[in-house]
Structure 1
Amino acid sequence: MGAARLLVELGVDPAEPILVEARELIWSAWREDGRFRLAPTGAIYPCQTAHAACTLAHLGCGGDPRLAVTFQHLLATQFDGGGWRCNKFSYGRGPESEFANPGPTLIALDAFRFTDRANSSPELDRAVEFLLRHWVTRVPLGPCHYGIGTLFLQVEYPFAGYNLFYWLHVLSHYDRVASDPRFAEALAVLEADLVDGQIVPERVNRELSGLQFCKRGQPSALGTERYREILANVAGRLPT
């Protein structure tokens, strides 16, 4: 699914045969209750459904009636505090594992931004607030221990995991962050790493490291476009 989103990021038309096939493959894993079974056996985790929904939304399926069922399922299964959480404790149990997982929550919000629910749903407001609170606490949260530390703060492009640049881009589509000092503080951290106003990746997937559009230590034109989208989304509304 990450490969399909990457192709869209690079400007490949979702109507291209390879992406149509990818889309249909993902749909083949859809269940009538809205979840996606991405593996032949084992439990179905919220993160799997969120990733599938996000990819399909990027492929132009945000208005598909099947995805509407998935979005309703996600809203109905929000965990306490506003995020989404799996009952899989790969790292053991502790106080931090009683919270939702910030990573899948960010993915879910990325999917929801393609719908008309983005700025009209109290449930999504709660999810946004959950991530804004995490910016302040920074401690590892959820059974998968998503924290905010050195790796999170490094500029990562293209978008993949739970990191600052992706966090800012997704949240900028939600109106309530535009006047929030926590968002403004996070944006200032990203902007401190700009070079001549351009995004310069610090972390890159090893398999993509040879590609010019995301070369480590070199300005990225596509990454800079995403940064400018953040600014356009919150233009004139950030606290000073």
Structure 2
Amino acid sequence: MYQRDIEIIMSYKKQFDFDYWTTEDLRLFKGSPYNAVTAPTYLVELGIPIDDPVIQANVDLLFSVLREDGRFKVYPKGGMVPCQTAITLTSLCRLGQAQDPRLANSYRYFLEMQEADGGWKCKKYSFGRGPETEFSTPMTTLYVLHAFIYQPNFKELRQLDGAVEFLLKHWEMKVPIGPCHYGIGRLFMQVEYPLGDYNIFHYVYVLSHYPKAQKDPRFLEAFEWLKSRTVADQIVVERHSPRLNKLAFCKKGEVSQLATKYYQMILENLTINKGAD
């Protein structure tokens, strides 16, 4: 059904005269969204099996930049910031590697580096150091929570409740916070697919897994907004990277069957919670 989409994604595989959507010196985020961290997750989303040689080779590539402390060195020069590690960790989980013991240090890293406000923070102050930069980074925090849902005991980790509360507080505040100035405004409220970045769909999907959020009026308000954007309980894609415009599985302005599967997971999470009452 999505063979043409698969072909388009694969056509970028050697875009930098190397392989696996990256450069010879392993700048893994270069070429977004057709980069070494996210492009393979699109293929798996479209039905390519995890044991496919291309997927496995890409998994090996991502593991090759894993450092002993759990962080990922996704660029040959410069520091390693938490958002890059969180996104790479989530991608490896989506590629079937969540239980690989090599990721244990990555999960431990986040549990040990949690900020006092409950979130995680990329301490790169591109916009200066105003009072808003005292807060953690919402997108990084959302990705960390996303990565943890692949762990069987994540609901037992009370430490994550602080991160959930941080994101729920941001729903109330709305204003841009953190060093990268992530806010909740017009762009955030547009339904973005494939899942990624900091937006209403990703926000509700991730938080729907956490018991602390499921009954919270702030989360339920966000869920009702997402629900209001559906058509017959199906997700209509409103935004994504312009570079994805040729792909049928996430065509803007149309219902996406694959995106709707995530919405169905949200409904299932809330139904399970209601049944627990």
Q: How does 1:79-228 map to 2 (within 5 A)?
A: 79-228=115-264
Does the alignment pair 1:64 with 2:100? yes
Percent sequence identity is: 47
Deviation of 1:76 (Å) = 0.2
Aligned equivalents of 1:226, 1:75: Cα separation in 2: 26
Q: Distance in 1 between matches of 2:87 and 2:209?
A: 18
2:65 pairs with 1:29 = yes
Per the TM alignment, residue 210 of structure 1 is displaced from its structure 2 partner at its CA by 2.1
Amino acid at match of 1:206: P
Q: TM-score, normalised by structure 2?
A: 0.83
Q: 1:53 aligns with which of 78, 89, 92?
A: 89
Q: For residue 80 of structure 1, give the secondary structure of its aligned residue in structure 2.
A: coil
Deviations 1:24-45 (A, max 9, x none): 1110001111111111121111
Deviation (angstroms), 1:73? 0.8
CA distance in 2, matches of 1:87, 1:205: 26
CA contact under 8 A between 1:198 and 1:224: conserved in structure 2?
yes
User: 1:6 corresponds to which residue?
Assistant: 42
Question: Hey, what does 2:3 align to over in structure 1?
Answer: none
Q: Do the aligned partners of 2:211 and 2:273 also contact (CA within 8 Å) in 1?
A: no
In the alignment, which of 34, 38, 43 is matched to residue 79 of structure 2? 43
CA contact (8 A) 2:205 2:266 kept: yes
- CA root-mean-square deviation: 1.3
Cα contact 2:122–2:140 (8 A) shared by 1: no
Detail structure 1 runs of 4+ shifted over 4 Å in the superposition: none
Q: Give the distance between the partners of 2:222 and 2:273, measured in 1 at CA.
A: 15
**C-alpha distance in 2, partners of 1:57/1:79?**
24
Q: Which runs of 5+ in 2 are unaligned?
A: 1-36
Q: Give 3-state SS (helix, strand or coil) of 1:88's partner.
A: coil
Shift of the alpha carbon at 1:117? 3.5
Instruction: Determine which structure has more spread, i.e. the larger CA radius of gyration.
Output: 2
Which AA in structure 1 matches 2:247? L
Q: Which amino acid aligns with 2:252?
A: R
